[in-house]
Amino acid sequence: MTEIPNPVDLAVVTVPANKVLSLIPEFDQKKIKNVLLISSGFGEVGEEGKILEKELVKKARNAGILIIGPNTMGICNPYISFYCVGSHVRPPSGGTVLLAQSGNLGTQILAFAAKEDIGIRAFCGSGNEAMITIEDYMEGFEVDDKTKTVVLYVESVKNGRRFFESAKRVGQHKPVIVLKGGRTEAGSSAAASHTGAMASDIKVFMAACRQAGIVQAESPMDLLDLSAAFSSLPLPKGNKVALLTLGGGWGVVASDLCEENGLIVPKLSEEVISKINKLLPPFWSHANPIDIVGEMNPETYMKILEELIQWPECDAIIHMGIIGRKIMIKAIMESTAIVDKKYDSKFVENALRYAEGFEKQTIEQTVKLMEKYNKPIIGVYLLNDDETRTVTEVNGGKYKGVNFITPEKAVKSLAKMYQYSQWLKV
């Protein structure tokens, strides 16, 4: 290490735990002040490991060295193309910071974020948090301008008061989304075995989260869904939702989900009905949810969206089946070309080009409507495939297109956004 000629900003350590302490003098001699300690075998393995961890922290502090970990899966900062993670994941840069007290779970969530085009400010698997704790990270997020949304997987908190006070301050400017691991006796035992995390009373933790305005996730995928929604959409000012659907069944399901999650599906006013009457055939639903009876004209669809988003009784819109139709069209066109030889590959290509153009135009215009009226619009895919993405960037857009693969994801995300917006008003 001392043979390296130039200054070293960060040392990444992977040697066995019993050899780590002997590196401290070398770090000190080389004036290395930052260490990413991947190695396991410390506080998570029992009393002997805890003693070793305490001795390491003592020596590091005396040398003015800061350690992330031990027992971490690494860190990344896409803004400077720095990826030092135990999984080959390269998410795009963005506003979501991801901190996980489980490296494996953290890198899996990071991989999902990369697939779904959710931009990452930075990632850290915090490991045992021997020196730098979740409370320290929170205070960093508070002053970092690039951080727009904070996403945490938490198993334990060393200083509860400090954590919740900092989370409350951060939450005034950017949402803090938390998944709590170790909510049950079995989960608490599992957490203690891999990071040495101590169990906390889940009821007390959840109550403190509510007071601090922390958005609580119920599953790992909730973290990504909520991150996509919070980082891409304006917050709803109220809980009244207009539902726009390609078919009646989804409208029924979404209405149930809205009511179960504290959202309201208001009746359409006579004025809105009369305006939509001019745009759809007479057999449309004449009610909220609005069944657009298979309408394919993008101009008609956008006119309906704008009528709804201007309606005072509408705080948000969820549309279902509008995006993702190109997948269905592709299957139909390919089948048609097989059974009718008059159709060639050009026919299929042209049909797909039209469908892709329709969806691109729809997402772009949806983002423009959100910018104009400052109300969230969330989509649900008709069908999805390997190319399906939750978040779609729009050049020059303040917001982004968000389309989930199920109504449940759309409704739950909107409900959490509403709860957070209400906390901000208190």
Q: Is 2 within the bounds of a domain?
A: no
User: In terms of domains, do 109 and 49 share one?
Assistant: no
> Which segments of 198-297 does DSSP mark as H helices, in order?
202-212, 220-232, 248-260, 270-277
Q: Which amino acid is at 14?
A: T
User: In terms of domains, do 54 and 79 share one?
Assistant: no
User: In terms of domains, do 223 and 276 share one?
Assistant: no
Mean pLDDT over each residue of the chain, to the nearest integer: 90
Nearest alpha-carbon partner for 407 in 265, 280, 309, 304: 265
Question: pTM of the prediction?
Answer: 0.89
User: In terms of domains, do 49 and 95 share one?
Assistant: no
Q: Is 80 within the bounds of a domain?
A: yes
Contact partners, residue 187, CB within 8 Å, separation at least 6: 181
User: In terms of domains, do 182 and 81 share one?
Assistant: yes
Residue 49 pLDDT class (50, 70, 90 cuts): very high
| Per-residue pLDDT reduced to its tens digit, 76-108 | 999 999 999 988 899 999 999 999 999 889 999
Which of 41, 68, 95 terminates a domain? The answer is 68
Q: Which amino acid is at 189?
A: S
User: In terms of domains, do 197 and 271 share one?
Assistant: no
User: In terms of domains, do 245 and 228 share one?
Assistant: no
User: In terms of domains, do 49 and 138 share one?
Assistant: no
User: In terms of domains, do 245 and 334 share one?
Assistant: yes
| Per-residue pLDDT reduced to its tens digit, 167-206 | 999 999 999 999 998 655 554 454 444 444 444 578 889 9
Interhelix angle 407-425/220-232, nearest 10 degrees: 60
User: In terms of domains, do 306 and 343 share one?
Assistant: yes
φ, ψ at 366 (rounded to 5°): -60, -45
Q: Is 4 within the bounds of a domain?
A: no
Contact partners, residue 34, CB within 8 Å, separation at least 6: 9, 10, 11, 65, 66, 68
Which of 172, 199, 232 terminates a domain? The answer is 232
Token duo for residue 335: 């089948």
Distance CA(41)–CA(127), nearest Å, equals 12
More confident residue, 323 or 190: 323
Which of 232, 259, 283 terminates a domain? The answer is 232
Q: How far is CA 256 from the centre of its chain?
A: 24
Domain at 43, CATH number: 3.40.50.720
Q: Is 3 within the bounds of a domain?
A: no
329 vs 4, 33, 296, CA distance in Å? 59, 58, 12
Domain residues for 315?
Answer: 241-425
User: In terms of domains, do 255 and 353 share one?
Assistant: yes
User: In terms of domains, do 83 and 147 share one?
Assistant: yes
More confident residue, 252 or 188: 252
Which pairing describes strands 401-404 and 377-380: parallel, antiparallel, or unpaired? parallel
Distance CA(196)–CA(154), nearest Å, equals 13
Which pairing describes strands 401-404 and 391-392: parallel, antiparallel, or unpaired? antiparallel
Q: Is 1 within the bounds of a domain?
A: no
Token duo for residue 117: 């085009």
Interhelix angle 160-171/202-212, nearest 10 degrees: 30
Q: Is 144 within the bounds of a domain?
A: yes
Domain at 256, CATH number: 3.40.50.261
Q: Is 370 within the bounds of a domain?
A: yes
Total domains, the chain? 3
Q: Is 6 within the bounds of a domain?
A: no
Cα three-residue angle 355-359-360, rounded to 5 degrees: 115
